[in-house]
Amino acid sequence: GENVEQHPSTLSVQEGDSAVIKCTYSDSASNYFPWYKQELGKRPQLIIDIRSNVGEKKDQRIAVTLNKTAKHFSLHITETQPEDSAVYFCASGGGGADGLTFGKGTHLIIQP
C-alpha cells in the first residue's frame, strides 16, 4: 500500500519568516495531495490541495508544490503568524484504494 513520509516532525520559526514542510509518497498512481491543519482537540481542516496534473498551487500565504517524478510535495507558508501554530498533515490519495494515506504530522510553532 501507499506510504507517506513527512518531515520535519517539529518546526519552530520566527513570526514573519517562512515555513516549509516536505512529504514523499510511494504509490505512483496517487493523484490527489491535500494538506490539513489540525488544532489541539479539533478536527483536521483542509487548507490546500493539489492534483497530479498541476505542479504548483497558491492561496494567499500558502502554496503547495508537487514533483511527480521524485514523488514529493511540499507546503510553503510565508509571513507566518501566531495563528499558524498547529499540527500540519500531508496526505495522498487516488491510487488503488479509496481514502487518504496521511503523514505523521508536523508541529509548527511560531515564535513571537
Partner 1 sequence: NAGVTQTPKFQVLKTGQSMTLQCAQDMNHNSMYWYRQDPGMGLRLIYYSASEGTTDKGEVPNGYNVSRLNKREFSLRLESAAPSQTSVYFCASSEGPISSGEQYFGPGTRLTVT
Q: Which residues are at the interface with partner 1 (CB under 8 A)?
A: 1, 4, 6, 31-32, 34, 42-46, 49, 51, 89, 91, 93-94, 97-105
Q: What proportions of the chain, in percent to the nearest 5, are helix, strand and coil?
A: 5, 55, 40
* CB of residue 26 to partner 1, shortest distance in Å: 13
* CB of residue 10 to partner 1, shortest distance in Å: 11
Q: Would you say 82 or 99 has its CB closer to partner 1?
A: 99
**Type of residue found at 75:** L
* CB of residue 78 to partner 1, shortest distance in Å: 23
Q: Would you say 19 or 48 has its CB closer to partner 1?
A: 48
Angle 29-32-37 from CA coordinates, rounded to 5°:
140
Q: Would you say 86 and 42 are in contact if contact means Cβ atoms under 8 Å apart?
A: no
Q: Would you say 47 or 110 has its CB closer to partner 1?
A: 47
Q: Would you say 16 or 54 has its CB closer to partner 1?
A: 54
* CB of residue 104 to partner 1, shortest distance in Å: 5
> In angstroms, how far is the first alpha carbon of the chain from the final one?
41
Phi–psi pair at 60, nearest 5 degrees: 60, -115
